[in-house]
Amino acid sequence: MNNCTGQGLKGLKPLWLLAAIATMSMVAIAYYQLRELSSSVRSLQASVVNQQNSLSDEAMAQKITGLIEAYEKAKRSAAVDAKFAPYQAALEKTTGKHVYGNPLARFTLVEFSDLECPYCKRFHSTPKTIVDASKGTVNWEWKHLPLDFHNPAADQSAMASECVAELGGNRAFWVFIGEVFRIGRGGGQGVDSVVDLAKDIGLDEASFNTCITSGRYSVKVATDKAAAGKLGINGTPATFVVDNTTGQSQLLGGAQPPEAILVAIRKLSEQGNTEHN
């Protein structure tokens, strides 16, 4: 079994090589940012030392407090930037859909997923790697399908992700669900705090809490679930490979390897080319 249902990777080398390169790039960015922070701190420390003879104790305390606050703020900013760095392919704004990659791509991977499903967690890097390697020909669209036996955690995380999208934009949405999969325990156990996750990606705590307590995205999540039901989908992940040129699609159930998705894309491409000849 490679999906979450009510009853219960080997990858292409070039794709995983790209994933490894992306990971190393993230590490390099974080290292550079921390080095810059350390340099700034040393400069501020030198400034304090140079002025300590001319400052009163109170002024010196304020100077030191300001130094600490500036450092902590810069460190938080660098941490947020590091989380967002792998998701530059996601536009900040979209037209109501959660899309990663070129919105005008020929092919779309429409994934129905559950943030508490362990198979979805295993699969999550696969569509991203394919989109990143596609040079704009493939994008990835997220649809919610929190399964009943993973609730209430699955529903809560789905609605939290919608609040993130409202307050932080489309790219923040993708960062957030990536973080839920990264640190979540899965299987309906949830994360320790969706509020802390939202704060960690730079969102305002009060605004996020207001959105969560309003429950205003319960209808949107329920609409995605109803759409999945009409399509006969009752397990996650479930991914439609869609040719946006012809409207043809192929459903792939479960945590499929990259090869299966690429085969479906090639098949749809060949069918489309035949129709136009």
| pLDDT tens per residue, range 210-223 | 999 999 999 999 99
Answer yes or no: is pLDDT of 172 > 70. yes
pLDDT of residue 136: 97
pLDDT of residue 72: 74
pLDDT of residue 161: 98
pLDDT of residue 49: 54
Q: State how far the Cα of 150 lies from the Cα of 116, in Å rounded to an integer.
A: 6
Number of other CB atoms surrounding residue 46 within 10 Å: 10
Q: State how far the Cα of 162 lies from the Cα of 118, in Å rounded to an integer.
A: 21
> Average pLDDT of 220-248?
97
> Average pLDDT of 34-47?
58
Total number of domains constituting the chain: 2
| pLDDT, tens digit (0-9, with 9 covering 90-100), for 123-137 | 999 999 999 999 999
Answer yes or no: is pLDDT of 233 > 90. yes
Domain shared by 117 and 198, yes or no: yes
Domain shared by 155 and 235, yes or no: yes
Q: Is residue 1 part of a domain?
A: no
Domain shared by 125 and 214, yes or no: yes
> Average pLDDT of 226-241?
97
pLDDT of residue 40: 57
* Three-state secondary-structure class, residue 26: helix
Residue with the larger pLDDT of the pair 196 and 65: 196
pLDDT of residue 210: 98
Answer yes or no: is pLDDT of 19 > 70. no
Looking at residue 138, the DSSP 8-state letter turns out to be E
pLDDT of residue 5: 81
Domain shared by 139 and 19, yes or no: no
Answer yes or no: is pLDDT of 196 > 50. yes
Tell which of 38, 58, 87 closes a domain: 87
Q: Is residue 94 part of a domain?
A: no
pLDDT of residue 240: 98
Residue with the larger pLDDT of the pair 142 and 42: 142
Answer yes or no: is pLDDT of 265 > 90. yes
Domain shared by 107 and 83, yes or no: no
Q: Is residue 92 part of a domain?
A: no
Residue 195 sits in which domain range? 99-276
Q: Is residue 133 part of a domain?
A: yes
Beta-carbon contacts of 261 under 8 Å, excluding residues fewer than 6 positions away, are 109, 126, 127, 130, 239, 241, 252
- Average pLDDT over the chain reads 87
Tell which of 31, 57, 87 closes a domain: 87
Q: State how far the Cα of 140 lies from the Cα of 101, in Å rounded to an integer.
A: 7
pLDDT of residue 68: 80
- Going through the chain in order, the beta strands assigned E by DSSP cover 99-100, 107-113, 138-144, 238-243, 249-253
Domain shared by 205 and 272, yes or no: yes
